[in-house]
Amino acid sequence: MTDSTAEGVFSRIAGEEGAGQPGPSEGRNGLRHIAALSMTKVADGLIDPKLVLAWLLTALGAPAVFAGALVPIREAGALLPQMPLAALLQRLARRKWIWVLGSAGQGLAAGMIVLAALSLEGQAAGLAICAALALLAVCRAACSVSYKAILGKTVSLSRRGAVTGLAGSASSVGVLVFAALLILGPGQSAGLVIAAIALAALFWGAAALLFTTLEEERSETGGDTIAHFAVLREDPVLWRFIITRGLLVSTALAPPYLVVLSGESTLGRLGALVLASALASLVSSYVWGRLADHSSRRVLMFSGLLGAVAMGAGVALWALGVAGQWMAMPLVLFVLMIAYHGVRQGRSTYLVDLAPEGRRAAYAAVTNTVIGVLLLGAGVLGGGAALIGPEATLTLFAVMAIAAFFTARGLTEAEGL
């Protein structure tokens, strides 16, 4: 693709307002970002621990304890290592190589899951797949801690939300196809699920290769930009953002409880969850991204409010005794997933735009470490949810989302409006 073509395509995708016409390198980099992110997001959907890996472990005869460990391993492994990884990142003049290694590592881990599924059963399969998922999660942390710094260097402020938003919508098409297979029948075969995980491995590898071509200027190394908790004392706005993001974790934790309230736990119902998430991403991610370019604070506010409405509707349908009707919970899930993708887009854009030029990786690492601890605590609380019931848990999550609306309202406008 010629420079002028790349400029033109990226300009039509992301617009020219704010930063003006993108230059040749930004146009090429923007398209690389979109392609690489699209592949990794499809891979995420194909290997979703909440659904795909949990079903695979059951099919392989692994004890239920391994399926229950998948989400805590993935979330804690992806967030908690980010501070030491950020320290390593700050020593590199070209930060893209951390992302390249992280994406390649996720592909390797997905390949290990495929090998385990083809050769092991029972407890051995559970141990091997959980170990591979732990490696995948740490590699995901490397991608997460480096990406915001790389995006901030290679794409202008007013176009970053469009890049990540379009990648989210584009990747949803592949996940939609997978969800349809799960619902319609072929997804009942372990062979198809294993093939999907193998495809995820290829996507992560291809994204790593593509990212090696990113045109990144050298960064200053060392100094006082290493990630440490002192940034929380130095920036009170960051504290408020962390509180807001912590409250909005409720939108990520709520979907399984909606499925429980629906009264079914079949693979078809799980496929409906994947379908709802993919459709929500397809119709909302680009829109949320463009809105976030104007005010990511407002995106956080209103996605939290929308999530609270969805969770409240789920509880209301349960109270009315209609939660088991075939259209009830899928619609609630669809709305909740729209809110969830708004939260993801808003928090990512806000943090990139809030952080000073040389401290994006440090801000991301500290924030994600704190959120990782909160998620571990939420996982422990989730284990006790059976004591209070899914409807009470959803009510608590809805209250958290409403509280997030008010904490986000008090944030400053990171986009300078």
The residue type at 82: Q
Would residue 263 be called left, alpha or beta, if left means φ above 0 and alpha means ψ between -120 and 50 degrees? left
pTM metric for this prediction: 0.70
Give the range with max mean pLDDT: 72-76, 189-193, 197-201, 260-264: 197-201
Percent of the chain with pLDDT over 90: 24
How many other C-beta atoms lie within 10 A of the C-beta of residue 104? Answer: 19
Quick one: pLDDT band at residue 200, thresholds 50, 70, 90? Answer: very high
A 10 A CB-CB count for 100 gives 22
Residue 394's alpha-carbon distances to 246, 315, 397, 398, 399, in angstroms, are 16, 7, 5, 6, 9
Q: Identify which of 188, 166, 198, 168 has the alpha carbon closest to the alpha carbon of residue 46.
A: 198
For residue 330, give both structure tokens: 């899928």
Q: How far apart are CA 357 and CA 152, in angstroms?
A: 8
Token pair of 239 as six digits: 């504290």
- Digit-coded pLDDT (tens) for 172-183: 788 888 888 877
Q: Residue 364: pLDDT band by 50, 70, 90 thresholds?
A: confident
- Whole-number pLDDT of residue 18: 46
Can you give the three-state secondary structure of 165-224, one letter per residue? Answer: HHHHHHHHHHHHHHHHHHHHCHHHCHHHHHHHHHHHHHHHHHHHHHHCCCCCCCCCCCCC
Give residue limits of the domains in the chain: 22-409
Mean pLDDT of 28-47: 86
> CATH for 22-409?
1.20.1250.20
Give DSSP secondary structure letters for 134-156: HHHHHHHHHHHHHHHHHHHHHS-
pLDDT digits (tens, 9 = 90+) for 283-302: 887 788 888 888 889 999 99
- Cβ 98 vs Cβ 92: under 8 Å: yes
